[in-house]
Amino acid sequence: METTCIMSPRHDPFPLTPEAWEAAARERLGRDVYDYYAGGAGDEVTVRANRTAWAELFLRPRVLVDVSEVDTSVTLLDAQLPHPVILAPTAFQRLAHADGELATARAASASGTLLVASSLSTTPIEEIAATTNSPLWLQLYVFRDRELSLDLVQRARAVGCQAVCLTVSVPVQGNRERDARNRFRLPKGLEMANFRGHEQVSFPGEAEASGLESFIDKHLDPRLDWSAVGWLVRTAGIPVVVKGVLTREDARLAVEHGAAAVIVSNHGGRQLDGAVPTARALREVTDGVEGSVPVLVDGGIRRGIDVVRAVALGASAVLIGRPYLWGLAVSGQAGVEHVLGQLVGDVRRALALTGRTRLRDVDSRILAR
């Protein structure tokens, strides 16, 4: 099955590089919103390392291979996808564009890709599900009020979400100094729409620095341990994916507690500054699961060659966050579609130039030692 995404022509009026998309988005966004999306924890060492670590992986291209047809399709938890680029959960998308998550959901449908909807979205999961024909997962934080989390999972299952993606890397908020400096808030008229009728619909009113940090301190459960994964597996009624794994030990524990897949993620460098970049953690995690469940990865993926590198290290698919947010900020649905189209077109090009005709055939032999 070949992807239908086409590489953007030279006359395309949209930005042509990941850096140009970000620059164009920065011009359109307020400083506080841009800093919220772009920023990381502390000195942002891990934010930068997430990108540079991919570039440290060099490839061994084969030549004189017929690459007139290239297949980028993948299968993930029984979902057939035309390409391996998934839209990661990102909160508060209506800060970037008035249509927010609905524009992203429509773009996912147009691309045929999987969308992971954030539990902290500015659009309810029911409206997101009604807008996309593509596979949909729900990202979940476990609140101190665990019944609130479970209710959201049940709503997601009712509207057809195929998995719940449990984020495990936020027991407390990372040191996001940009947000503290900007006193980050949701503007009047925006709310965490999945929690209408509950106090969690908005940030605590008494916050003096980052409203999001106050929200996390007040509502997310820092006592969360591996028993929560087992609880969610027993109660969700759909597969549970664990997001935020960086070590072999935790990969094995995730499998032992029933995870259907794991995502190698350091939360985009937004939690522990100095955490290992995902490109370096990926092989350790894939070794840890020993092929028992799919492994996905996010963090710093900007080019098609990064996707090929990730697959060579054992990933079944990759997730992008900031890149499609920049597309959303620049041109709504069309912007997200163009970002996806350019990246997937670049995956096809990278496969052809390495002499591979099917993404599923890529393995560690493509990597230079």
- Cα distances (Å, whole numbers) of residue 103 to 317, 332, 336, 337, 344: 22, 6, 8, 10, 19
Residue 52 identity (one-letter amino acid): T
| Strand runs labelled E in 115-154 | 115-117, 136-140
Distance of CA 219 to the CA centre of its chain: 22
Active site residue ranges: 267
Which candidate, 90, 24, 18, places its Cα nearest to that of 305?
18
Give the relative orientation of helices 45-55 and 278-289 as an angle to the nearest 10 degrees: 70
Return d(Cα 22, Cα 326) in angstroms, integer: 5
Return d(Cα 97, Cα 102) in angstroms, integer: 10
Which candidate, 270, 304, 273, places its Cα nearest to that of 18?
304
159: tokens are: 């509207």
| Strand runs labelled E in the chain | 74-76, 79-81, 85-87, 115-117, 136-140, 163-167, 240-245, 261-264, 295-297, 317-320
